[in-house]
C-alpha cells in the first residue's frame, strides 16, 4: 500500500439512510424539536464513520446501534455501551457497539454526502486512531452524563477518536445545511481525558 493511499477518510452519512425508517423518523422528530427551541430551520442530520488505511490493512471504525447479534468478533467489535438505560442494556437491542473492523464495510456508504473527506495521509496518525478505538469511553448513548452540553452518540465516538489522535476535530464541519449531533460531546470528553490516554505502542497489530 503506497503512502498516498494510507491515512484516514471521514464519511458523512444521512441519518437513517438505507431504509432505517425508525432511526430516520426519530431523527426528524428530534431535529424538529431542537430547531424550534433554538429558533432556526431544521437541518439534515448526519452519522459519521471512518475508513483507516495502514500498511497492515484497511479498517472501518464506526459506532453502530443496535448490536445485531452476538457474533461481535466478525464485525471487529472492541467495545459496547448502553443505549438510554444501563438496565435495559442487558438486552442486545439496547446496546451499541464500537467497531474496528478489518476489511469491513459501512452499510450506507452509497448514500454518503461530500465523502470521503480525507483527514490525513499520515500512517502514524492512522495507527494512533486504531490504537485508541478500544479506549473510547462507553458512555450512555443519547445522554449527556458528563454535562458537555451535547449528547453522546455515534458522532461522539468519531470526534473523540480524532481529537485524541491529535486531529483538529473542532474544525471539521458537516456538509452544507447539515448537523452532526454529538460531535461536540466527543471533542469535550476527549480533551478532558487527554492525560489518561494510552501511549502509542510501536508494532501494534490488530
- Give me the pLDDT at residue 134, please: 95
Sequence spans of domains, the chain: 3-196
Strands (E), 57-201: 57-64, 77-82, 95-102, 113-120, 178-179
Q: Which helix (H) or strand (E) holds 13?
A: strand 7-14
Task: Please give the backbone phi and psi of residue 82, each rounded to the nearest 5 degrees, phi first.
Answer: -85, 150
- Give me the pLDDT at residue 27, please: 67
- Give me the pLDDT at residue 153, please: 94
Residue 146: count of CB within 10 angstroms of its CB? 15
Q: Which helix (H) or strand (E) holds 27?
A: helix 21-38
- Give me the pLDDT at residue 3, please: 54
CA distance 142 to 117: 26
CA distance 100 to 109: 16
CA distance 80 to 140: 10
What is the per-residue pLDDT across 127-182, written as a single tens digit (0 to 9) for each?
A: 999 999 999 999 999 999 999 999 999 999 999 999 999 999 999 999 998 999 99
Which pTM value belongs to this model?
0.87
Amino acid at each position: 500500500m503506497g503512502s498516498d493511499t494510507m491515512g484516514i477518510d471521514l464519511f458523512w452519512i444521512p441519518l437513517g439512510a438505507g431504509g432505517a425508517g425508525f432511526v430516520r423518523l426519530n431523527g426528524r422528530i428530534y431535529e424538529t424539536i431542537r430547531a424550534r427551541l433554538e429558533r432556526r430551520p431544521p437541518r439534515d442530520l448526519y452519522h459519521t464513520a471512518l475508513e483507516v488505511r495502514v500498511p497492515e490493512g484497511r479498517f472501518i471504525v464506526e459506532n453502530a446501534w443496535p448490536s445485531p447479534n452476538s457474533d461481535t468478533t466478525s464485525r471487529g467489535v472492541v467495545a459496547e455501551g448502553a443505549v438510554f438505560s444501563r438496565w435495559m442494556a442487558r438486552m442486545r437491542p439496547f446496546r451499541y457497539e464500537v467497531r474496528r473492523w478489518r476489511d469491513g464495510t459501512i452499510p450506507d456508504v452509497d448514500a454518503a454526502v461530500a465523502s470521503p473527506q480525507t483527514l490525513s495521509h499520515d500512517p502514524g496518525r492512522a495507527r494512533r486512531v486504531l490504537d485508541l478505538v478500544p479506549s473510547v469511553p462507553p458512555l450512555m448513548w443519547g445522554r449527556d452524563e458528563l454535562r458537555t452540553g451535547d449528547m453522546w452518540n455515534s458522532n461522539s465516538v468519531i470526534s473523540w477518536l480524532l481529537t485524541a489522535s491529535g486531529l483538529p476535530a473542532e474544525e471539521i464541519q458537516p456538509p452544507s445545511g447539515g448537523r452532526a449531533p454529538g460531535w461536540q460531546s466527543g471533542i469535550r470528553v476527549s480533551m478532558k481525558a487527554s492525560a489518561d490516554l494510552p501511549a502509542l505502542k510501536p508494532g501494534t497489530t490488530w
